[in-house]
């Protein structure tokens, strides 16, 4: 609930948006969170030891998939009035973030980014589900 409220409060158009408009705003928030995650991965790849590189590379691939597949799928589906595919895109993004978190043996250096990506995506999927 908090993540939804905070995300929508920060967007001036949310007060007059219908459910589709709110979902579109949340997809934009997903995109911002995915970019944050990918930027953090790139930053860590420059300073982390060799052992973490494989996990970071895998996470980078997952965040790229969110940006090039899941988010465009959600955007297009909402524009075309096909909420099921938008829900699938948001759920896929949540799963990618969870998979990234599990890539690390022990403490992940991306827990904050992965949790943010997961939570925003789950909220977006729940919002889109209201359109089904």
Answer yes or no: is 85 within a domain: yes
Answer yes or no: is 12 within a domain: no
What range defines the domain where residue 88 resides?
A: 33-129
Cα 85-88-92 angle, rounded to 5 deg: 145
Q: Average the pLDDT over 116-131 and give the result.
A: 96
Number of domains in the chain: 1
Whether 90 has a pLDDT exceeding 70, the answer reads: yes
Distance CA 89, CA 85 (A): 6
In order, the DSSP letters of 4-28 are HHHHHHT-GGGGG--HHHHHHHHHH
Q: What CATH number should be reported for the domain holding residue 66?
A: 1.20.140.40
Alpha-carbon dihedral sign for residues 8, 9, 11, 13: positive
Q: Are 109 and 41 in contact (CB under 8 A)?
A: no
Answer yes or no: is 117 within a domain: yes
Answer yes or no: is 25 within a domain: no
Answer yes or no: is 67 within a domain: yes
Distance CA 33, CA 116 (A): 7
Q: Quick: pLDDT tens for 42-75.
A: 999 987 576 688 899 999 999 999 999 999 999 9
Q: Is residue 49 classed as helix, strand or coil in its secondary structure?
A: coil
Q: What's CA 81's distance to the chain center, in Å?
A: 21
Answer yes or no: is 90 within a domain: yes
pLDDT at 52: 85
Answer yes or no: is 53 within a domain: yes
Answer yes or no: is 98 within a domain: yes
Exposure of 64 by Cβ count < 10 A (0-12 exposed, 13-18 middle, 19+ buried)?
middle
Binned at pLDDT 50, 70 and 90, residue 6 comes out as confident
Q: Are 97 and 114 in contact (CB under 8 A)?
A: yes
């Amino acid at each position: 609930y908090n993540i939804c409220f905070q995300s929508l409060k920060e967007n001036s158009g949310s007060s007059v948006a219908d459910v589709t408009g709110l979902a579109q705003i949340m997809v934009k928030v997903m995109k911002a969170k995915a970019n944050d995650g990918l930027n953090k991965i790139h930053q860590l790849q420059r300073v982390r030891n060799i052992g973490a590189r494989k996990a970071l590379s895998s996470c980078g691939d997952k965040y790229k998939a969110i940006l090039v597949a899941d988010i465009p799928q959600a955007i297009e589906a909402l524009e075309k009035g096909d909420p099921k595919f938008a829900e699938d895109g948001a759920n896929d993004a949540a799963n990618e973030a969870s998979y990234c978190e599990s890539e690390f043996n022990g403490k992940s250096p991306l827990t904050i980014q992965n949790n943010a990506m997961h939570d925003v995506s789950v909220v977006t999927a729940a919002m889109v589900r209201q359109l089904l």
